[in-house]
Structure 1
Amino acid sequence: MKLPVDFEGLIAEANTLNLYQKLIRQLNKDFLLANIDLDFDEEILPTSLKLILHETVYTLIQEKFAEYLNLLYIIDVPEHKIRQLDGSDTVQLSEQVTFLILLREWQKVWYKHQYK
């Protein structure tokens, strides 16, 4: 599996394989498991998805750090990738973490689709 390198590539690949709605469902499932009140509509536009997810991650980092760590654990974002990020700018950090979350969720959806 060749992972997308940016948000646009991830969404393009999800749409090409008709897996965008499954990606949204996986996000909703993991956010529910993490007890974070965020439920995306399956018809949400990719730009809105990115914006809302970015705002949520930013808020979690700023105000609810334990819940943020729990979310990363439940989604299974690799710890070494988080450690590689520069934490000096919280807005930029939350944007990068948002992509890592989407990337990990995409991996889950893609593998389930490939090996069902």
Structure 2
Amino acid sequence: MFTFPKNIDALIAQAEEEHLYFKLVEQTNKDFALANEPIDIPLHIHPFQFKDLVLEKVLKLIQFKFAEYLNLLYIIDVSEVEIKKLNGSDLIELADQVSFLILKREWQKVWFRTNY
């Protein structure tokens, strides 16, 4: 049974536990590249560095390339309903929450592809 992790750390721990961490990194790289915003995360990156790279990229997109940020969310297929629930008053907190939604969607893709 697939259960959604409650935060990025739990998501990464679940991916590692199921031996799908590298596939999660690959999927993230692939989708960012499809959105013309390559992130080029090395496959053997430490999980917390992985999280930080995604957060940093999302923050820069929100601040400086908003149209590209929206395109990224569309390409990855992040839930519009979930995005609209977020509070945008603190940019870093928003980027952190969006990063979680992005990685959660990437994790869904990897998990379902592996298990079905």
Q: TM-score band (shorter)?
A: over 0.9
Provide the C-alpha distance between the structure 2 equivalents of 1:50 and 1:41, rounded to a whole number of angstroms.
Answer: 12
Q: Percent identity?
A: 53
Deviation at 1:12, TM superposition (A): 1.3
Deviation at 1:16, TM superposition (A): 1.1
Provide the C-alpha distance between the structure 1 equivalents of 2:11 and 2:25, rounded to a whole number of angstroms.
Answer: 13
| SS of residue matched to 1:87 | coil
Q: What do the CA deviations read for 1:37-89 (whole angstroms, capped 9, x no partner)? A: 31111101111011111111000000000000000000000000000000111
Matched with 1:69 is: 70
TM-score by length of 1: 0.97
Is 1:59 the counterpart of 2:60? The answer is yes
Is 1:39 the counterpart of 2:53? The answer is no
Contact 2:29 2:38 in 1 (8 A): no
Structure 1 spans left out of the alignment, 5+ residues: none
TM-score by length of 2: 0.97
Equivalenced residue count is 115
Deviation at 1:28, TM superposition (A): 0.7
Corresponding letter in the other structure for 1:47: F
Deviation at 1:22, TM superposition (A): 0.2
Is 1:78 the counterpart of 2:51? The answer is no
**Aligned pairs for 1:102-113 within 5 A:** 102-113=103-114
| SS of residue matched to 1:35 | coil
Provide the C-alpha distance between the structure 1 equivalents of 2:10 and 2:93, rounded to a whole number of angstroms.
Answer: 19
Structure 2 spans left out of the alignment, 5+ residues: none
Deviating 4+ runs (over 4 angstroms): none
Please give the root-mean-square deviation of Cα atoms over the aligned residues, in Å.
0.6
